[in-house]
Chain A
């Protein structure tokens, strides 16, 4: 049955891969589901909760790989062409959800579906081709070893440029647990969706379609979209448009927030060399915009040294993870490392953090089963690049170990190395030192997918005039939960978070857009409730997969007193977590009520 609301088809495309090939069918998505969880990350999370059996091997056939769009995709609303990816994460064992700007979102909707769920495992390396209502597999042996960008270019040349492609690189083929899925140069990077796709022997998904679902009130949508597009290029996004998120490097360093040498410190002597300001003046080549975006925050740079020139797009997270975190201050090396992560198809945050863990193992003379000189070393760009190559191909003892991520690598190696594995629930920390950001510290500890600034944007509270270092636990917990709910809503509307300061009242204005697109009588309070509900759905998935309160914590390093800066008192953190559970309405062990 087709949807009765605007902006969606109400259709989920199911694809099952097996020894004989593939079978495909359509299942309905109820209007009520769209009202409650909106779309995007919310829809992908709900489908994952329904389709993934408890205890499913993340790299096994039962783990569904889900792609979901939102009602806003294809409406002309700026930044809304994003696709959400969800699966049980091979990195964390918990919910693995990721969001990527992508023309794939438009293609999937044009093909008559709001979401795609793939189960099973292909009998040979394949490309899943969705051509309007027709689904087929194409062999992919000829594409193995190529980057996602090369794969996409080749497939669009072969199938036609109307096809849009999501693909994995060599790391996804080899089961690197933080492998990404790339679309149009952007990555669904975190939590290892690329490894899940590779385990299904899918090198790529190519989609073409011809019919978008109409919005309920196209004229109202057009007027609201025009207004938002105009504001999206106002002063609130100047930072992103003029320098990009790379602008964080120098400022964070000044504030003692720039994770350095695996979070040993919060300031890096080489920060200016890899800062956004320096890159802008000395390495910039241009900027690009994501699919259907008016902001244009993606900045591209080129190396400038005696080596062959390399071009790369970098974000703050790339610079911190491959720069200060590893003690590398040569911008040419960081740019090459960023380009290499994209070429291999790996998440730069987890890659850099896992390499930094290995660098600290070397510093501490931990035995990884190889000569000490074969391990990467602080500040040594060549050894960083070598380690990334080894990870991408799981080459040798080092590559195979580091391809598991810092948590699994530390568990395998032992010798106390978990003390400097900087992850939450197996997902490596983003580039914000939580020892100086108390609301974010709580947010990272409790976030469903692990340590992630995109799911807990609580740094927004700490880095604003709303920051209150003396806030009581309930107030801080409410702020952390509120930032999670806001992030969940934006990820489900598939609006870019960079618009958050362009919207006067995010909930009121989003509700107006939602009414115009869907025709539902959506209010701001409905969207607040939806944000909370989406986080509840994620939590329920985690509980079904064995989550316990012990997983809501921070790495030991952050909880230990140090001579040259603040630390997080473990008792303080437990009080904040207690308060967070209370704000969420969960019991003392963090469990949602069965009837909720």
Chain B
């Protein structure tokens, strides 16, 4: 998914507003395929994601920080990553999925 076209505002123009794609258990928990979230870094995006989607708190994401719990991972621009400081841009794609990606 690409950046939401209506997302920028005067106050948050520096923060990319993205949609996080959910797969597997996170999708079932959230009952959504995508959830919008903002953040300049992946860690900040995670914190916003858990605020916007409380169903993921304590199940797939840490309730306080939003960072994926054991068993879950972010995939940024089609690469698995655990780098909370990763800078995000308006074209960045973000996926939340189980870490055990294979069979």
Contacts and interface: CB of A to CB of B under 8 A. Distances in A.
B28 A243 contact: yes
Contacts of B75: 255
Interface of A: 234-240, 242-243, 245, 247-248, 250-251, 254-255, 276-277, 280-281, 315-317, 430-432, 453-454, 457, 459-460, 463-465, 467, 498, 500-501
Contacts of B99: 236, 464, 501
A430 B100 CA distance: 17
Contact of A464 (B69, B72, B80, B83): B80
B24 A236 contact: no
Given A234-B71, A236-B71, A251 B102 contact: no
Contact of A236 (B79, B95, B100): B100
Contact of B100 (A280, A315, A498): A498
B11 to A, nearest CB: 32
Interface of B: 21, 23-25, 27-28, 69-73, 75, 78-83, 95, 97-103
A251 B101 contact: yes
- Lowest 9 A-B CB distances belong to which pairs? A235-B71, A239-B98, A463-B101, A247-B24, A251-B23, A459-B102, A245-B103, A465-B80, A236-B71
Nearest to B29: A242
Contacts of B79: 465, 467
Contacts of B103: 245, 248, 315-317, 430-431, 453-454
A501 B101 CA distance: 11
Contacts, number: 89
A459 B99 CA distance: 12
Given A239-B71, A245-B103, A250-B23, 8 more contacts: A234-B71, A239-B100, A247-B23, A248-B102, A276-B24, A465-B83, A498-B100, A500-B100
Contacts of A432: 102
A316 B95 CA distance: 20
12 contacts: A237-B100, A242-B24, A251-B23, A251-B97, A251-B101, A277-B27, A281-B28, A317-B103, A432-B102, A453-B103, A463-B101, A463-B102
Nearest to B103: A245
Contacts of B24: 239, 242-243, 247, 250-251, 276-277
A277 B101 contact: no
Nearest to B22: A277
A313 B27 CA distance: 22
Contacts of B72: 235
Interface centre among B69, B71, B75, B78 (most CB of A within 10 A): B71
Interface centre among B25, B28, B79 (most CB of A within 10 A): B25
Nearest to A243: B24
A318 B27 CA distance: 22
Nearest to A241: B25
A430 B103 CA distance: 10
A250 B82 CA distance: 22
Contacts of B83: 465
A149 B7 CA distance: 56
Nearest to B78: A255
A82 B71 CA distance: 25
B80 A247 contact: no
Nearest to B21: A254
Nearest to A257: B101
Contacts of B27: 250, 277
B22 to A, nearest CB: 9
Given A251-B101, A254-B95, A464-B99, A243 B25 contact: yes
A501 B98 CA distance: 11
Contacts of B82: 465
A256 to B, nearest CB: 8
A277 B102 contact: no
B25 A239 contact: yes
A459 B101 contact: yes
Interface centre among A234, A247, A317, A501 (most CB of B within 10 A): A247
A167 to B, nearest CB: 25
A248 to B, nearest CB: 6
A238 B80 CA distance: 18
A460 B100 CA distance: 8
